[in-house]
Structure formats: structure tokens, C-alpha cells
Amino acid sequence: MVNLRVIIALLCGSQLAYTQNLLQSGTYEELLDFSTPQEPVHTLELSSLSSERFTRLSHPNFPRHSARIKKSHFCDETVDAYTGYLDIGTRHLFFYFFESRSDPDTDDVVFWTNGGPGGSSSFGLLMELGPCNIVSPNKTAFNPFSWNSKANIFFIDQPVGTGFSYADFGETVTTTEDAAKDIAAFVAIFFETFDEFKGRGFHLAGESYAGRFLPVYASEIYDQNAKLAAANLTTINLKSVLIGNGLTDTTLQFRSYYQVQCSSVIVEPLQSISMCVRMQQAVTRCEKWTKAACVDHFDHMDCQAANSFCVEEIVQPYFNTGRNQWDMTKMCCYEEPAWIEEYLNQPSVRSTLGIDPSFGPFIGHSTSLQLAFRLRGDMLHHNQVYVAQLLERGVRVLIYAGTHDFICNWVGNERWTVEMEWSGQKEFAGEPLREWNVDERVVGETREAKGLTFAKIFGGGHMVPRDKPAESLTMVNRWLAGEEL
């Protein structure tokens, strides 16, 4: 029997020198103290930051959260770039920030995270949508299709223990709900500190396990606004959530694994007739078991057992073919992840980013963090309830998917968007898929109603910005502008 670990691994103040904060982390109410509203310690302009040392950002209403940030002149010489850490007691989350290539003084802010859990967003930065692309272990090249074309953008290594993020004593978070509290605090500190960004539209974006992360993170940020307003602090203008090839509903994804292997919905049937007959029988049992154990009444052990059965019978046969899980038309692997690890471990690059010399080697994916999330059953939850509640509150949601992905394929993602219960379900489900175009070329299909959009990108894999850079940039620029695809 394949262990569930298999599928998770494959899824989807004034300028101060840094002094380490050894305060232990407390409860959320202790970490975000809204009991005595106060004015910010200081506000800054990004342009005033030093490239030689970190500037610490803090606020009395966030007594155990602070941030360090510096100019870094990294990746894209055409814009100002910054790196730093969100410090939560003894936990430290690393981030990159790039200003917009168009109008940084007015353009919206996008927050990007990769999935895993435990996958560094340096992958998104350097092999997908960032200002530069890795082209060898020692070199990057300008990316004309970067998403900072018309947006200011963050890339963050989260949860703690991912990429360059670290903890002083090895402690971490092991659930998406706990990780959401740190992200919400960081966002609040940033917008409170930098006056030039107050009121800007804010968008959460990501792929793969971000289908679990982002609905929860966005909900935490939205709910936190009431506390910020009561404390006379800057509220976050949360405009939308963008999820690419996401893992939002694990159980609904299982039937799609059978469909894409045993029909021509993506490529030709990949399995023998006898295997497809067995898988079809397993799907019925899989759906019945996961509905009872994971949906109707959540039971961690029974839900995990159900998922393990589904993986063994429906997912493992695909891996046995040797095909690339991120692109069903390819075999094996990508070169870029190994290049990125080698590049980010160069002393000169680490110095530019401000990585402490005592920090160990950069590792693109943390298997220990992934295992910790698995043991807490984090991947077993259904997240479309969060999506529905965000839509009800006027937060737009874009679910996009490359058509060649297997592990978080478009079939399963379309299914949950159509079946999700919310006030716009009937109107959304009743809309037919229509073509959408880039430069008079048909590049995909889309369905949209009442703030929810589903989009297929023809020929894209799990990492759409890597595979279809021009199409993905057009998509995101139209989305940020509030236009139809």
C-alpha cells in the first residue's frame, strides 16, 4: 500500500542592525495585540531602505511580529528589489519583493506562494513568473513575461522551514490555519508601515498546495480587517485570489485521475483496459469512503485510510508509467529545480539577499515540513467553503489550470468550481465554457459569473507561467485590471 506521503510529495523603527529576537511565540491573541490601539512606530518609503543592512519594521499592536527588509539589487536591474524576513518570536519567514515595471506608485500588490507544503517560492520566482529565469546553475536571464509587469509582487518562503525561512530552535507550524496567522500579521505590518501602499489592491496568488493555503490565508486577512479597523490601523484592500492548478478538494480530484488516464480528455488513454476497469470500480468505493470519512463527518484516521486506498488504486498507476506528473505529455523531470538550489547556495547570491552566513544550504523542498503537515491531516480538508465565503463578501476568485497537468488537473478543478455551493452556483454552472484569446489566438476556455472565473490554458502543465508565459501574463494583467479574460 502506498503511503499517503507519496501523493503529498508529488502534489500538488529607524534603521537598525539586526539583533535576534528570542521571545517565544505565544497564542494568536498574544501575538496580535489589538487591546490598546496606538499610532505606528514609524512609516517609511521603500526607496529610503538601505542595501547594506536591514531596516526593522515593527508596531506596538504586533508585539511579537516584526520584519527586516533591505534593498537587494537582485534578479531585475530595471526595478527596485528587496529581501527580508518576517520575524515571529523565534520563527523567521524569508521573502522577496519586486516593484512593478509599469507604475510602482499606483499598481496593485500581488503575494505569491508555491505549494508543497514546503516548496520554496524561489521556484515560482526563478522558473515561472518572476523578473528573471534561471538558465543555468550560475546564470539568470531577464524575463519579459514577469508578473511584475503591472504589479508589485512578493514571493515568500512559507510556512517556516521552507527555503530560506528558518526557526532558531527548529519549531514550526504544522497546519494551514496556524500559518495563516503569520501571513496576515506580515501583510498588516507591511501596509501599515509603507504609506505609499495603503489602500492598494491586494491579491493572493499561488499554485498547487496553494489551493489549500490561499483560501484560508485570504479568509484570515479578511477577518483581521475588522480588528485592524477597530484599532484605527490600515485595513487590507483584499481584491482577489488566484489559484493555479490547485489542490483545493482532494476527494473530488480522485475521479479526475481516473478520467484523465482512461479517456482522451487530455491525451490518449494511458492505461490498459483491464487497469481502467479496476480503477473505475475503485473510484466508486473511493468516493463513497472519502465522503463518509472526510466530508460528512471528518475522522482523521479513517479519512487518511480512505485517501491511502484512493492513492494506491487510482494515482499510483500513473506514476508507474514514468510520465511527468506536472505534464502528461512529457517523461521524467525538469532541470531548473537543481539549478536553482545550486544558484541560491552561491556565497555572492546569499550575500546579496542578506542570508545569514550561519544558515545552512538552501533546499528547495522540505520533506520534514511536508511530513509534519501530513501527520496533522492538513491536506485532507475541503477548502471550497472558504472560497465560497470569500465570494459572498465580494472577493474575486480566479481558478486557472494548464490542460497537461496530471496531479492537480483541470478536470478536477473545473468539477469543484461547478459543484461548490454558494449564491452564484446556479449562474456560474449554467455558463458554458467559451474561448479566450491572446493576440487573436485561441489559448484556452473560460467560464465566469459573479466574481468567480475558471480558466483552462491549452498546452500548459502544472506550472502555467513556465509553460505558457505570454498567455499567463495576459491572463493576470486582464484579471488585475478587472477585465474578462
Q: Quick: pLDDT tens for 12-38.
A: 422 222 222 222 233 333 333 434 444
Q: What is the mean pLDDT of the chain?
A: 88
pTM of the model: 0.90
Name residue, grid cell 468539477.
Answer: 415
Interval 342-351 mean pLDDT: 95
- SS3 at position 403: coil
- Ranking 209-218, 258-267, 394-403 by mean pLDDT, the lowest is 258-267
Question: What string of H, E and C letters represents the secondary structure of 206-230?
Answer: EEECHHHHHHHHHHHHHHHHHHHHH
Domain ranges for the chain, please list them: 10-251+379-480
Per the structure block, which three cell numbers stand in for 106? 499606483
pLDDT over 60 at 42, yes or no: no
Interval 1-6 mean pLDDT: 39
Active site residues: 208, 405, 462
Identify the pLDDT of residue 474: 98
- Ranking 134-148, 353-367, 444-458 by mean pLDDT, the lowest is 353-367
Closest CA to 270 of 257, 281, 282: 257
pLDDT over 70 at 295, yes or no: yes
Identify the pLDDT of residue 199: 94
pLDDT over 50 at 47, yes or no: yes
C-alpha–C-alpha distance, residues 289 and 261, integer Å: 22
Provide DSSP, 335-346: SHHHHHHHHHTS
Per the structure block, which three cell numbers stand in for 76? 531585475
Q: Prior bond to 159 cis, omega within 30?
A: yes
User: Any alpha helices (H) in 354-444, and if so which ranges?
Assistant: 367-375, 384-392, 410-419, 425-430
Interval 262-287 mean pLDDT: 93
Q: What torsion, rounded to 10 degrees, do the Cα atoms 447, 449, 453, 458 define? A: 10
- SS3 at position 323: strand
> Taking the mean position of all CA atoms in its chain, how far away is CA 193?
24
- Does the 10-251+379-480 domain belong in CATH 2.40.50.100? no
pLDDT over 70 at 155, yes or no: yes
Write the burial class of residue 77 (CB in 10 Å: 0-12 exposed, 13-18 middle, 19+ buried): exposed
Q: Prior bond to 117 cis, omega within 30?
A: yes
C-alpha–C-alpha distance, residues 273 and 280, integer Å: 10
68 beta partners: 56, 85
C-alpha–C-alpha distance, residues 253 and 318, integer Å: 14
Interval 264-286 mean pLDDT: 93
Identify the pLDDT of residue 43: 66
Residue 8 confidence class, pLDDT cut points 50, 70, 90: very low
pLDDT over 70 at 187, yes or no: yes
- Ranking 243-247, 310-314, 381-385 by mean pLDDT, the lowest is 381-385
pLDDT over 50 at 396, yes or no: yes
